[in-house]
Amino acid sequence: MPRHGELKIITGTANPSLAEGICDHLGMNLSPTLVTTFSDGEIRVEIGDNVRGDDVFVVQSTCAPVNHNLMELCLMLDALKRASVGRVTAVVPYYGYARQDRKVVPRVPISAKLVADFITVAGVNRLLTVDLHAGQIQGFFNIPVDNLFAAEVLLDYMRQFNGDVVVVSPDAGGTERARAYAKRLGAELAIIDKRRDAPNKAEAMRIIGDVRDKTAIVLDDMIDTAGTMVAAGKVLAENGAREVYACATHPVLSGPAVTRLEQSVFKEIIVTDTIPLVEKARQCSKFKVISVASLLAKAIHNIHTESSVSVLFSH
């Protein structure tokens, strides 16, 4: 039996449709929460339900505008803590600032650690997220962190592809992720050897592996400006791939990303709803959105009932 009172779910303004989808899977309603801004731009938060002793899950991706959404999350956590909540879990499907997870040059912050400190100090007891950019970010928290894998829902969609399939990592760093997908699909693995000359700029060089006359799926954890992804698709097409798909968990899609993807060789761009699609992407027929609501709902149910969560994120 649960030890933390009634299950309740609230959401900020970052991704309310995902929160509603989670509630649909759990057969419950969102708890009312007022999240708005004062005239000077400061965020106003007011929890509409009595949450004393309850088990509350706050659904809020720290996507663009990342600073606003992060502050919303921290204020909701603080409001719950001051309302004597029994336990509060931050459900952060997309964890912003995750790429700044170490010092690569002198005199720079480790932003992923600072954000972890913000969330922890605000009063969270547990974090639930999806496909962290770097798994070791879990170590930045001194609370339990459940890092779910979107593979559970993405693989179901990928299994419809016919013929020979090859899963492609757009860089060496994503090889482990691509290998895990390839193994479960019974597909081959290929790696793009690329050289990055500056942040958000990448040049695909050559392919390690055979992609000729095969359906190639370029796999990454996120698509930001899409430079890496589009360059990978181009080199795959030039090397004889029959069809080329892009797949990523988090559709960050900043700057020229959507325009680049519209003009790319990709037949389809498969993403999840950890981040809502920007308006321009919603108007592009190439995008296919797979929801992670069912995955998060199962995790929330298991956390609430003190059941195992590891069964949901095991490769």
Catalytic residues: 194
Report the DSSP beta bridge partners of residue 43: 37
The DSSP secondary structure of 86-127, one letter per residue, reads SEEEEEESS-TTTT--S-SSSS---HHHHHHHHHHHHT-SEE
Helix 151-158 vs helix 293-304: crossing angle, to nearest 10 = 140
Phi/psi-derived region of residue 160, left when phi > 0, alpha when psi is between -120 and 50, beta in every other case: alpha
d(CA 105, CA 280): 35
**Torsion sign, CA atoms 269, 272, 274, 279:** positive
* Residues constituting the chain: 315
